[in-house]
Structure 1
């Protein structure tokens, strides 16, 4: 005797906003009648925080601050105890997407040290002699809150010029090859649905260039008043110029933000999710120079 469960949402994209109703079908298939003690549907949403290995053991207070933050959690009984008939059964459902208490729903985000996920779980409870059956489905929440005024102010184009004299983390600048790299980023406040756009120009360089790259980085902060763990990890790296590119040529910058691995820039008392873009120029001897641009991501 076996029971197959599937959860299907009416919205194929599985994207919802706070306050919307999530509706769909629970599909059951069994080859004979099955007794059960109730069919339940649970909606859960949580922020899961994880410490990086470099901070474990340093701050004991961290262990309390990295407990999951529950955003949504409630269960409804969709079918009372009884029998599931042999064959296929469809059970419609509709649940409101609403947060617990005075909490807000953050956008779905899959990170390294911060994860924000929302799930639907169907449980068929059976007697203690028979094993219960469960099925889970992740759905996506988008944040449509208005953009802060300070974020809008960063929507202006930013020009840059990199020379050996402008490098910050180089002690002996006499060994750095002479070069001049300029360009611009159209905006440091970016909509997630739009690409990051700009250009870079190699004005002059006395050594051979191996590669010009654009790197998207997430900066995740977890912690509390006693201390914070802040870690930067790469999301994606795009090569915009290969080999010794022509001097004076404007190389276009065009980066699409990946779904799930990015979200609107977020700052709370327990965690932060921020983003940066690095322009990296790699020379033939593998020496590289980097220009960093902190960016603000918004949904609209």
Structure 2
């Protein structure tokens, strides 16, 4: 005997307040007694200590928990399919955040089907994850082009790299775009555009602030011709980033980090970084 859960929406994307629908299938080749079948939709926030924070433990918070009894105790004869529907309403005092998998912060949602069995047999259960997104908002931030200039990097190396990104108010579903130009610089090993996330945990048991790379896009491999326009183009990956967020328990913010690696005849290579703060949003599309 085994269980399967299938959601009705192929994209697996849902919004707060919607009804999630699906079907639980009990695969059974006999006439089997059971003590009841239940389906539960869950949403959990995980706040985790950093690697250097010894003695601290992960804190979890229930954002969503709704259950429905599908079968009372009885017998199941052969394969059985049962439809279900549950509304995605947060627990009292909670809020449903977008699905996100960071370094010290994670938000996940799932549907759990559990079949209680008779006697001393362990329950059967299975889960399926789904994605929760917040509704898109009207664009409210400035869309002004953000220019940058990277000058001398210290020591005996001088450099000038100029460029721009189209906006620092980024729709999470559209690419980060812009251009850069190496005006003058020592020979290069390469240039990367990193999307960096800053996770700030604010609960007393686990106060911390960490910065980690969410993803990386290579812009230049090796050296590049001077005064040549180099395009910046980077699609944001799902789950490792989400709209910028401030809550009572944690904050999530993001920035673009240009990593320039110079060849250095004496030390091998030398790295230089330039940060551009950005606001990630889920904006309404025209």
TM-score bucket of the superposed structures, by smaller chain: over 0.9
Name the counterpart of 1:113: 104
The structure with more strand, counted as a fraction of residues: 2
Matched, 1:160 2:186: no
TM-score, scaled to structure 2? 0.93
Matched, 1:136 2:124: no
Matched, 1:263 2:242: yes
Q: CA deviation at 1:121?
A: 0.3
Residues 49 and 206 of structure 2 are in contact (CA less than 8 Å); yes or no, is this contact kept in structure 1?
no
- In the alignment, the residues of structure 1 paired with residue 205 and residue 113 of structure 2 have an alpha-carbon distance, to the nearest angstrom, of 39
Name the counterpart of 2:64: 72
Q: CA deviation at 1:280?
A: 1.1
| Corresponding residue to 2:219 among 233, 240, 244 | 240
Query: Structure 1 residues 76, 226: CA separation in 2 closer, same or farther (over 3 Å shift)?
Result: closer
| Corresponding residue to 2:163 among 183, 188, 193 | 183
TM-score, scaled to structure 1? 0.88
- CA RMSD in angstroms comes to 1.7
| Corresponding residue to 1:21 among 4, 16, 19 | 19
Matched, 1:231 2:193: no
Name the counterpart of 1:192: 172
- In the alignment, the residues of structure 2 paired with residue 214 and residue 147 of structure 1 have an alpha-carbon distance, to the nearest angstrom, of 28
| Corresponding residue to 1:251 among 230, 253, 278 | 230
Task: Tell me the SS of whatever aligns to 2:202.
Answer: strand
Residues 43 and 73 of structure 1 are in contact (CA less than 8 Å); yes or no, is this contact kept in structure 2?
yes
Name the counterpart of 2:95: 104
Name the counterpart of 2:45: 47
1:156-206 Cα distance to aligned partner (Å, 9 max, x none): 111011111xx6xxxxx3x1411110000111110111000111100112x
Which residues of structure 2 form unaligned runs of 5+? none
| Corresponding residue to 1:31 among 29, 32, 35 | 29
